[in-house]
Every structure is written in C-alpha cells, then in structure tokens.
Amino acid sequence: MISCSKFCVAVWLGTALALRTATLRTTPRRWPTRTAGNGRGFVTPQMALDGGPKPPQRMPQAAPDATQPLETTRRTALYAAGACACGCGLYLATSDDETFVDAAQIKLNDAAKARDERFARVMSGGMRDYEGWEEVRAFKTDLFAHVQKNDDVVEIGIGSAPNLQYYGSKAKRVRAVEPNAAFFDLAATQAQWEDTTLDVVQGVAEAMPFEDNSVDVVVGTMVLCSVTSVRKACEEVKRVLKPGGRYLFTEHTRAPEDWRLLNAAQTVMDPLQNALANGCHLRRDPRPTIERVFGTGNVDARSFVLSNTQRGPPWPPHFLLAPHLVGVAR
C-alpha cells in the first residue's frame, strides 16, 4: 500500500514533469553555435543547414506574454497538486502575489497547546503525590529555611507553584519564570490558597527578564532536568543574584553507579521521558555544572536516593526520579 505522503510526492513530481515538458514545447529554443570571426551569436538549426555559419545575429526573443499564461498555469497546478484531499497540501495560491496560509503550522500550534495543557494537568497531580512524601517535605523544609524575611525571591520553572507552601510569611511576594502558560492558572490558584502575591512571566531559565544583581534568592526545583542548557541556566541564576544571594536547588539526577537496576531503568526510559515530559532527562547530573559556575567552595550540596531502605531501588510512583541532589549555591 502506498502511503499518503508518498502518493502526494508522486502527484507533485508527475505534475511538475508534465507541465515542464509542455513549457519546453511551447517555448522557442535558441541554438548556440560559434560563428565566423571572433563574435558569438545564435542561429537556428535551419539556418545552419542552409549555409553554415553566418555573420553574428540573434533570433528575436518571443513576446514576453507568449509563455506567461502557461507558466502561471503551471505554478497554479503545482500548488493544487499538493492540496490533496488528505490535507497534505500546505499552500494554496493562484498567483505569486497571494499570501500563503500554513494550515499545518496552525494545527501544530494547536497540538502543542493541547500537549502543554495535558502535561500541566498530569504534572500538577504528580507533584501533589511527590510533595506528600515525608522525606521530600523534610529536605524542602530545611532548604527553604535559607529564605529570609523580605527577601526578593525569583522561582524558575514554578509549574503549579507547590513550593509556595514552604515560603511561609517570609515571602509575601514571589516572581516566577515559567515556559508553559498552561500552568499559570494553577499557580495563581495555589498563590491565592497560600495568601502569597505571585507574578509569573512566560520565559525560560536560560534568559530571565531580570536585571543583573537584583535578586536575593533564586529557587529552582526539578527544573534543570528539562532546560536546553544547564550551563546557561546556571549562569543566568548567578547573573541576577545580588552579591551574597542564594540559589536554592533540588533536582532529580541519574542513579549512582552501584544502583545498577535503577541505572538500567533510567537508561531505557530516558527517551520516552524526554518525549512525554516536555524534554525532561532522567540521567542528568547538574552538580558539576553548578560547581563550575559558582565555584566548588560556594556550593553546599548532597546527593541521595529517596526511600533508600538498602533493599534496592524504590518502586512506583517515583522510582525513576528517586536519585536527588539538594543544595545551596552562593
């Protein structure tokens, strides 16, 4: 069975070839040949048979409109050939002056929006489950103790804002950067529940819309797994922090080498995780990059595996994310 895309390509090529042949048959040809002397001109085959080389001369060109109708028809037919009933045709036009409407791009945008909304719903539910772990609450409570009263706080990748519960009365206003607009309403609801003023802008950690040396605390939890560049994100965090400012982070990482089963599971599942979870990588280890950007002596961090009972890796729902890195960089 011939696939739809192959059929469309065949129609395009066949139409192009047929109309190109028709164009050549109706367009006067010029036969170049060397003439007597140093000149160079054009003669028809009949002139060449009648007497050989003649003084340089040129055949009159065809009237400008002689082939224009055919050319226009050829272009129109080619555009139409791509507009199959299957919807594979991306462009429809009757002249070069018309604006092309990329219907496929519109569909892609709609699909991306639906994907982001679905991811936001799933992630919001997953984070509620994750935040319910006693071990998670314990290390996050310790981490957010570094936020002081009246600190200017920026959170990157805030998602549905599960961290607002840890700020308490120390942060009545939090600014945030979040690439997925589908999280905005969820974050606003959480901020209202926590009685916190939250200002969210759409953006990425690698290019934050804040001035140099303007922020007391930058918070990033479960973010560096999905940024385009860990190095650039860390450099941006350092750029916006005031002298003496703190970067509070917790990230899931690749499993320790001696956790062989968990290592193998992460390796197998990483491509699927990346495809379904907005670019999340299971096997990243951001610690070396954080230490390189801030300086090893300015990073206080620890690595561990959640629910490590010495009986092997913890199983669902979060066993692939069990290896963790938590710390503060200055």
Q: Are 117 and 180 in contact (CB under 8 A)?
A: no
Q: How far apart are CA 147 and CA 190, in angstroms?
A: 19
Distance CA 237, CA 210 (A): 10
Taken in order of first residue, the domains within the chain and their CATH numbers are 4-102 (no CATH), 114-329 (3.40.50.150)
Q: Which pTM value belongs to this model?
A: 0.67
| pLDDT tens per residue across span 179-235 | 999 999 999 999 999 999 999 999 999 999 999 999 999 999 999 999 999 999 999
- Cα of 128 vs its chain's centroid, Å: 26
Q: pLDDT digit string (tens) for 66-115?
A: 444 444 443 443 343 344 434 444 333 444 444 445 666 676 677 778 87
